[in-house]
Amino acid sequence: MLESTMQDSQLTISSMLEHSRRVYATSRVLTFEGDGVREASYGEVGARAHRLASALQELGVGRGDRVGTFLWNTQEHLEAYLAVPSMGAVLHTLNLRLFPEQLAYVINHAADKVVIVDSTILPLLLRVADQLTTVEQYLLVGEADASALGKPVHAYEKLLADAAATFVWPELDERTAAAMCYTSGTTGNPKGVVYSHRSTYLHSLASGGGNTFNLSENDTVLPVVPMFHANAWGLPYSGWLAGADFVMPGRFLQAEPLAKMIETYKPTIAGAVPTIWNDLLTWIDEHPTDMSSLRVVPCGGSAVPQSLMKAYQERHGVRIIQAWGMTETSPLAAVSHPPKGYEDDEWPWRSKTGRILAGVEMRLVGESGDVLPWDGTAVGEVQVRGPWVTGSYHLDPDPAKFDGGWLRTGDVASVSPEGFIQITDRAKDVIKSGGEWISSVDLENALMGHPSVREAAVVAVPDERWVERPLACVVLRDGASASPKELSDYLEDKVAKWWLPERWSFIAEVPRTSVGKFDKKVLRAQYADHELTVEQLTP
Amino acid sequence: MLESTMQDSQLTISSMLEHSRRVYATSRVLTFEGDGVREASYGEVGARAHRLASALQELGVGRGDRVGTFLWNTQEHLEAYLAVPSMGAVLHTLNLRLFPEQLAYVINHAADKVVIVDSTILPLLLRVADQLTTVEQYLLVGEADASALGKPVHAYEKLLADAAATFVWPELDERTAAAMCYTSGTTGNPKGVVYSHRSTYLHSLASGGGNTFNLSENDTVLPVVPMFHANAWGLPYSGWLAGADFVMPGRFLQAEPLAKMIETYKPTIAGAVPTIWNDLLTWIDEHPTDMSSLRVVPCGGSAVPQSLMKAYQERHGVRIIQAWGMTETSPLAAVSHPPKGYEDDEWPWRSKTGRILAGVEMRLVGESGDVLPWDGTAVGEVQVRGPWVTGSYHLDPDPAKFDGGWLRTGDVASVSPEGFIQITDRAKDVIKSGGEWISSVDLENALMGHPSVREAAVVAVPDERWVERPLACVVLRDGASASPKELSDYLEDKVAKWWLPERWSFIAEVPRTSVGKFDKKVLRAQYADHELTVEQLTP
């Protein structure tokens, strides 16, 4: 058999680190600190990654050991992203918003040996410190009394200052574990996804391509989406590989500081979930802000209402593009750029969930297990596979989540012939009414187009006649009012008549999961338990 | 050791084929035919690739067998690019401009089993048909009497029409051989580079990125550089992966039809060697042509004179970007986009050979084997390694070309701290004068800035006092005149005084290799053998 003559080079994070550190030495990493930014060059961040690796090695971190990060989006977090995998250890990003028992669970389950913690959120870690069975030492970024952690605590800056300036990166097979992230499932324990150097490298290349985000050194990336949540959509790695500047928002995720960051530091691309953009919109509508630096704003994590995208585009010249994926897919799997030729009729496309990316294979599977056509009509579960898609979970094969090598995403959708996914529901959220499916997502999107509605979440509730019917839970804008009748009338020409909800709740806010998604489990439980509060009664 | 949970998906050409065939089914492949184009959709091309694979299998082509292509840049050539590797066979692109003995050599050395030949160039193949020892059958694109080939000849269209419509692509390891291309060395026999599915896939991803060419489905790609020469710089694969439209120029590579193609079919990106752009410039300067569709024009294969780039940019609004690589590097290894912050002072950067791409590792090695700094001053041989760089040659390890896993490119250069390569010479072309090096490339570029000079080639000639001195061979523009004194004066403030050539030849054209590069071996031989013609005498 004829052999390829190509070199067998490995796709590693250390090669990304070294390339950009040298070629883009003057690119910048800004970390917002409330009244201004801390600035470091790629050259400095790269040098500090070497020192961090040296320090961790001194602390006993070896190949395959897990290093947890309990950090905001900061320069130090980026240093850990680069150093920990490059030295052959495994980065474990910890979700700051987990309930204490879940936080302790994931640290113990991953067997983190060292945790790097930001002083501003030390109290959250202190709550669980005595339950942690594997952590031997802590690195503290910033100043605080961390003695209550009960294990040796090292000051991050002092440790780096004392560490050897150069670390000789090991030559790793590209399939070596590089990083891990636990899914924030609303049922059962969180499950760990373990990325490889290869999957991270390929995901970074795919993210920077012309059909995705066209990342280059001319960009300035503002990752609002947390680096503990699905790797901030891969932006720390893809941005670094491209040599882009970064604006790291730190803990300043509210509308006012974000508006200031955008106006002052002029990011060209910023990623956040719809809730953040929704809050920011309210702010910038009232406080004129120069948003013109932004050339594209990926948005995902939950469905992005067309009304939100249009408000940004029409009032602020900002182009929001939906993206779809999950912790299990690194996360980017689909992006909703309109296809060529539809420049003047782009909204039907931009409102879809996303067009499948090259590198991710997708199929649509019906309830009986048959593969469905991409005809824009047939509805089934989206299944994917590919080099940056997980094939199992850490210490938990969970075979129910896989179907002959395909990941079952749990998202129910139709797919257009052009590969555009239109998610109608999470499999567990779909409303089965009289043998037909009602899309809670479509109802939510339609409702959020009403000027008085700030947010809307629709869940299935039991119904004697139809088995299930939709319950619409609505958050009104400050000072706005609307009756169920008025909202139902508004929906009438937007959805099928039999979809119109008979049950309505007006609530103060939609309960959310630790990563900011609507927690429909809680909404359903509140209904089932008859715990509706005064606020939830129809006004 | 902690295991990654990522799927072990393979990066294959069949996955590129199937993704774009489906998701970009309506993208178009136009093949220019002199008075208009033949058009096929991606859906059609993909379907025909299945039929081509079925037909080749029927003819006995199995896993690892070589299929030669003796074709212009056409839809059929693209079909072979997609079908042959996807079926597990190996595409061997044959250089139409090889001397007969070299053509026979590479076909026999690669052991091509089947050759696909275009009827318009059948005579070139007929000259060597009786020397071919491995070819069993031919596929003929177009109409001609090919009986003199002496082996069974099948009409391409009939074969496809009769073939099974679906081929089940084998599941290949990504390191499987996919395609091969012989280098056009000016010394010794050509050497075969064998690309893998992995190297092709990664090269395509890297080519489409934001720091490279930002390829998307909104592009229309005009690959003027032949698909038999370093894979047309990878554009057939990277363009296909991006879902871009193609304009295939077929055999119409002259200035007039190229100008027509650009004006009519509006490519956004077009790749060709400097000679082609030089010819086209002369044409469009005299025949106003709308070139506004072109957003970027990669140019390489030999040094691109700044004067050429400026003429295009200032007179025609076309942005030429130098790129660097070779058959051994798939070929893209460096691209000369100016770094950020230099928008108003980009020419010093754009005149450099290229900035090393992420994915390709580079070092500069001095004559004594020491690794030199990237300081913009130190000059040594460029050595590279990476997943799309070859580590040997087909049936010919050629250890002199490799240095501890690094490919010795034979290019002599300095490298700036930002990773910009400035090639001063081919190692074998460098002029060693009095213990110092003179860059023939710098002299050529400076000379080509003179308004009377169409082309210039500088070679080393023996000198009693200085060991070597430069001989400047100059091609004047039609009707222009210039004396050696005049040209020497022109150079005076552009290069070091001791570089100024004492020896001058005015020639009708620069001899070229089969891929259009200056053939300095011939120039040197003409001088050494005292074969200077009348045209070569100083006027």
Q: What share of chain A is helix, strand, coil (3-state, %, to 5)?
A: 30, 25, 40
CA distance A147 to chain B (A): 30
Picking from B201, B235, B251, the residue at the C-terminal end of a domain is B251
* Cβ atoms A32, A248 nearer than 8 A: yes
Please list the residues that pair with B252 across neighbouring strands.
none
Average pLDDT, chain B: 93
pLDDT of the residue at B432: 81
- For A231, A276, A390, B63, the CA distances from B84, given in Å and listed in that order, are 38, 49, 30, 10
Describe the crossing of helices A274-286 and A255-265 by its angle, rounded to 10 degrees: 80
| pLDDT above 90 as % of chain B | 79
3-state secondary structure of B405: coil
Question: Domain holding B499: CATH number?
Answer: 3.30.300.30
Three-class DSSP category at A5: coil
Q: Residue A307 falls within a domain, yes or no?
A: no
Q: Cβ of B6 and A175 within 8 Å?
A: yes
Distance CA A38, CA A16 (A): 23
Nearest residue, CB atoms, A196 vs list B6, B359, B394? B6
Q: Are strands A320-325 and A332-335 parallel, antiparallel or unpaired?
A: antiparallel
Determine contact: B122 vs chain A, CB below 8 A: no
Given a contact cutoff of 8 angstroms between Cβ atoms, the answer to whether B281 and B254 are in contact is no
Segments of chain A scoring below 50 in pLDDT: 530-539
- pLDDT for B528 equals 61
Scan residues 191-230 of B and list those with Cβ closer than 8 Å to A: 192-196, 198-199, 202, 205-206, 208-211, 213-219
Q: What CA–CA distances, in Å, run from A229 to A107, A183, A327?
A: 15, 9, 8
Considering only CA atoms, give the Rg of chain A: 23
Question: Is residue A401 domain-resident?
Answer: no
Q: Which of A241-245, B190-194, B506-510 has the lowest mean pLDDT?
A: B506-510
Dist. CA A382–CA A386, nearest whole Å: 14
Q: A432 catalytic, yes or no?
A: yes
The overall longest dimension of chain B from CA atoms, in Å, is 76
Whose tokens are 């957003």? That residue is: B295
Q: Which residues contact A398 (CB under 8 A, 6 or more apart)?
A: A191, A392
Do the Cβ atoms of A205 and B210 come within 8 Å?
Answer: no
- B240 falls in which pLDDT band (50, 70, 90)? very high
| Alpha-carbon A48 to chain mean position | 26
> Between A338 and B426, whose confidence is greater?
A338
Q: Is A183 a catalytic residue?
A: yes
Cβ atoms of residues A305 and A445 within 8 Å = yes
- Cβ separation of B194 and A15 shorter than 8 Å? no
For tokens 């496309």, the residue is A349
Number of domains composing chain B: 2
* Residue B395 three-state SS: coil
**Is A388 within the bounds of a domain?**
no
**Other beta carbons less than 10 A from residue B398's beta carbon:** 12
Structural domain range at position A157: 10-216+225-251
Closest alpha carbon within chain A to B215: A210
Q: Is residue A369 part of a domain?
A: no
Residue B230 has pLDDT above 90, yes or no: no
CATH code, B110: 3.40.50.12780
Region B4-29 average pLDDT: 98
| A158 at B interface, C-beta within 8 A | no
CA atoms within 13 A on the CB side of A409: 30
Q: How far apart are the first and last CA of chain B?
A: 76
Contact A9 B242 (CB under 8 A): no
H or E element in which residue B524 lies: helix B520-528
In a domain, A338, yes or no: no
Is residue B292 one of the residues assigned to a domain? no
**Is B330 within 8 Å of B231 (Cβ atoms)?**
yes
pLDDT at position B442 over 60 = yes
The owner of tokens 């003409």 is B526
pLDDT tens per residue, range A461-495: 888 888 888 999 999 998 998 999 999 999 999 88
Instruction: Decide if A15 touches B, using CB distance below 8 A.
Output: yes
The DSSP bridge partners found for residue B154 are B139
Q: Cβ B210–A208 below 8 Å, yes or no?
A: yes
Active site residue B191: no
Return all residues near B487 (Cβ < 8 A) that are at least 6 apart: B447, B450, B453, B472, B474, B504
CA distance A231 to A94: 10
β-strand pairing of B37-41 with A431-433? unpaired
CA-nearest of B85, B65, B88, B95 to B182 is: B95
Contact B440, B495 (CB under 8 A): no
Please give the pLDDT value at position A539.
Answer: 36
Put simply, the chain A residues between 322 and 381 with a CB less than 8 A from any chain B CB are 337, 339-340, 355-356, 358-359, 361, 374
pLDDT in tens, A81-139: 999 999 999 999 999 988 899 999 999 999 999 999 999 999 999 999 999 999 999 99
Residue A96 resides in a domain? yes
Task: Give the C-alpha separation, B212 to B198, whole Å.
Answer: 19
| Least confident residue range of A116-130, B246-260, B314-328, B488-502 | B488-502
Q: Which residues contact A514 (CB under 8 A, 6 or more apart)?
A: A95, A97, A98, A99, A102, A184
Which pTM value belongs to this model? Answer: 0.89
Count Cβ atoms within 10 A of the Cβ of residue A486 and give its class: 0-12 exposed, 13-18 middle, 19 or more buried: exposed
Beta-bridge mates of residue A518? A512
Q: Is residue A150 part of a domain?
A: yes
Residue among B482, B445, B394 nearest B111 (CA): B394
Q: What is the pLDDT of residue B256?
A: 97
Name the 3-class secondary structure at B265.
Answer: helix
CA distance A300 to A357: 15
Strand boundaries in B249-368, DSSP class E: 269-271, 297-299, 320-325, 332-335, 354-356, 361-365
Check CB contact under 8 Å for A391 and B5.
yes
